[in-house]
Each structure stands twice: as C-alpha cells, then as structure tokens.
Amino acid sequence: AFRSSPIESLNVDAGELPLSYRRSILGMRYAAKTKASNSHPRHSHPQSSRRNSINMIQFDLLNLSLNLPKFQNENNSIQEPWTLPSPVICLSLTKNIKKSSPPHEFFSAFSEIMVNLSPCHITYCDGSKSNEGVGCAVVSRRDVFKFSLPKETSIFTTELFAILASLNVITPTEDTFVVCS
C-alpha cells in the first residue's frame, strides 16, 4: 500500500469494513446492550449529552430496515403442553468421561446413535464461555446461527440458550428432529 492509496481500497484489501460502518455496528451493539441491561450505569444517570448519541444509534437501527425475526415467539398452542409427548433424551454419551476418552471413540459412538435415529432433521448446538466472551451457536442444515451473550452469563445458561435457539430453528412441519448438544 502507498500513502496515496484510497482508504476504501485498503479496507477491501484488508477485508475490513469501512470505519463508518464499524462505528455504526459497535454503536448499535452498545445501544442494544445498554437497553437490555437495567443494571447499566446509563440508566442511573440523568440523561445528558449522551442521550443524543444513543437516540442517533437507535435511529440508525430503525433506518436499516432489517427484518429481524422475534427470537422468542409467543406461541399460543391449541394443545396443552402436558398432553404433548415427552421428548426422548439419549444420555448414552455422558457415560464416558470426555477428557479420558479419545475423540474417535466419541465419534464412533455418536455415529452409531445417529444411524438409529435417521431420517430426521438434525440440529447441533453448543455454548462456550472463555476469557474473551460468552456465546453459543446453532447449526441446522445449511444455516449457522451465532449468538453473543453477556460476559456474566453462566455456562449452564449459555448451553440452555443454545438448546432454546435450536428449538426455535426447527419448523413445525418437521415431525422428527434431533437436537445434539
């Protein structure tokens, strides 16, 4: 790159978004996070000059006109939940201790289970917590969904959120489905 190279070209070469987009994305994440957390200090201070910046970020969110689906749909089912059949839960892989068994043993045991369950819609989900952050992902057929969660979230809540997200991915027309967590 040369000193005379346009910034847009450098962004393309580096595989980075333009700075204005990055600022907008970071601002929208901040606005969403502060709005979702009642314990955030922004809620306890009187509205100041930062109010205009938050309102501008919320305005940017509205102007994007994204068709974001509601994550947790209110579902008023006709059938009472207690009349639904209980899910079949396979815990046979939990008998082995993950750290002491080689990965190929787990893979072969998992493959045996999956052969007995096909044909069905298979959804994989997992949650993770590290020093860098907390998140979960769901993989279903051709779709991959990733979620970033607050750092305070426990690993159990993260795993539960991953399972809930995978259940939301499954369509009502699918009779048989498997959630692998």
Query: What is the domain count for the chain?
Result: 2
Say yes or no: 59 and 107 in one domain: no
Tell me what pLDDT residue 59 has: 64
Tell me what pLDDT residue 58 has: 61
The tens place of each residue's pLDDT in the chain, 181 residues long, gives 788 888 888 888 888 888 888 887 887 777 777 766 666 666 555 555 455 555 666 666 666 655 555 545 555 667 787 888 888 888 888 776 666 778 888 888 888 888 887 778 888 999 999 999 999 999 988 788 898 888 888 999 999 999 998 888 887 777 778 888 8
The 3-state DSSP class for residue 135 equals strand
Tell me what pLDDT residue 178 has: 84
Tell me what pLDDT residue 129 has: 92
Say yes or no: 33 and 105 in one domain: no
* Assigned domain for 128 exists: yes
* Assigned domain for 121 exists: yes
Tell me what pLDDT residue 127 has: 93
Tell me what pLDDT residue 20 has: 80
Give 157's contacts (C-beta < 8 A, 6+ positions apart): 149
Tell me what pLDDT residue 96 has: 66
Query: Please, are residues 170 and 123 in contact by the beta-carbon 8 Å criterion?
Result: yes
Tell me what pLDDT residue 156 has: 93
Tell me what pLDDT residue 75 has: 57
Q: Which residues pair with 138 in a beta bridge?
A: 125, 145
* Assigned domain for 80 exists: no
Q: Running DSSP on this structure, what letter comes out for residue 46?
A: P
Say yes or no: 143 and 98 in one domain: yes
Tell me what pLDDT residue 28 has: 76
In DSSP notation, 65-134 reads: ---PPPSS-----SS-GGGSPPPP---GGGSS-TTTS-HHHHHHHHHHHHHHH-SSEEEEEEEEE-SS-E
**Residue 145: φ, ψ to 5°:** -120, 130
* Assigned domain for 148 exists: yes
Q: What domain range is 19 assigned to?
A: 1-39+55-64
